[in-house]
Amino acid sequence: MTHFDAGLTEAQIRRFVDDGACRIDEAFSADLARECRRALWAEIGLSPDAPDAWTRPVIRVGHMATPPFVTAANTPRLHAAYDALAGSGRWLAPRGLGSIPIRFPSDLPPGDDGWHVDAGFGTEAPDFMDWRVNVTSRGRSLLMLFLFSDTGEADAPTRLRLGSHRQIARELLPHGPAGATLRQLAAEGFASTGDCPETLATGPAGTVWLCHPFLVHAAQPHRGREPRFMAQPALLPTHDFDPALPPSPVQVAIREACGLTF
């Protein structure tokens, strides 16, 4: 076991460093997932029993902070995984979950299925393409995908480019602490990661995918039969990068990609 391990095996942590993603099975219970789905149906004013009203390919809920969502985000299994990947004492316990794209079976294009990374800071800018990312991943410890419904390959699972976080780290390095905007990173449509192998964030309700904050990912159309419920929050850090601390697996991946010594 490594000095930063608190629930994942060394092999799982190594795969996270190399691939940028780790699937946590049974991260929260199926009963809790069902309770969260009921709350989300009520939030959007639709019903699982009235599919004729599912006329939009995606509906977004900004944030849910009721007890079921807080509980789902803070199970002992997830806390152990947060410690293992982001570093013990270096993350804030989630006080809810968001954003939550609910995807419906549809032949209409969703309009939000481009490849991208998520920003960590600069979110006060009115245009989200001006939000920023820097090489120390300021403002974001992990990208997390919480599956509240069973999600198979046809159910619009998030597409993940494995290993793409390493290329993004190298692209961010010359920008220093100021980082780059999403517009700068997207200038070539993330073509630099186009050869990365792709996997799908599938799994039964209660599965959580913990991803490196630089992992390039994308939505896709829903070709299944039942709506897909998922939250994709950030795990927030307690403080900015501190070089005096032993590197977490998130930082190990960045340092290895950039050829930095320890």
Return d(Cα 220, Cα 23) in angstroms, integer. 19
Q: Which run of H or E residues covers position 22?
A: strand 21-24
Note the helical H segments in 107-192: 164-172, 182-185
Residue 80 carries which DSSP code? Answer: H
Return d(Cα 128, Cα 118) in angstroms, integer. 10
Task: Say what the pTM is.
Answer: 0.95
Determine the pLDDT at residue 7: 72
Return d(Cα 93, Cα 175) in angstroms, integer. 30
Pair 99, 60: CB distance under 8 Å: yes
Determine the pLDDT at residue 261: 61
Q: At 112, list the tokens.
A: 């939000």
Return d(Cα 2, Cα 66) in angstroms, integer. 35
Determine the pLDDT at residue 3: 36
Q: Where along the chain do its domains lie? A: 10-258
10-258, CATH topology level: Jelly Rolls (2.60.120)
For 33, 86, 207, 225, 256, the CA distances from 150, given in Å and listed in that order, are: 10, 27, 9, 11, 35
Query: Under DSSP, is residue 146 helix (H, G, I), strand (E, B) or coil?
Result: strand
Output the tens digit of pLDDT for each of the chain's 262 residues.
333 434 799 999 999 999 999 999 999 999 999 999 999 999 999 999 999 999 999 999 999 999 999 999 999 999 999 999 999 999 999 999 999 999 999 999 999 999 999 999 999 999 999 999 999 999 999 999 999 999 999 999 999 999 999 999 999 999 999 999 999 999 877 899 999 999 999 999 999 999 999 999 999 999 999 999 999 999 999 999 888 899 999 999 999 999 986 4
Return d(Cα 154, Cα 228) in angstroms, integer. 10
Return d(Cα 77, Cα 85) in angstroms, integer. 13
Determine the pLDDT at residue 1: 33
Q: Which of 235, 246, 190, 169 is nearest to 208 (CA)?
A: 235
What is the β-pairing status of strands 142-147 and 234-235?
antiparallel
Pair 229, 40: CB distance under 8 Å: yes
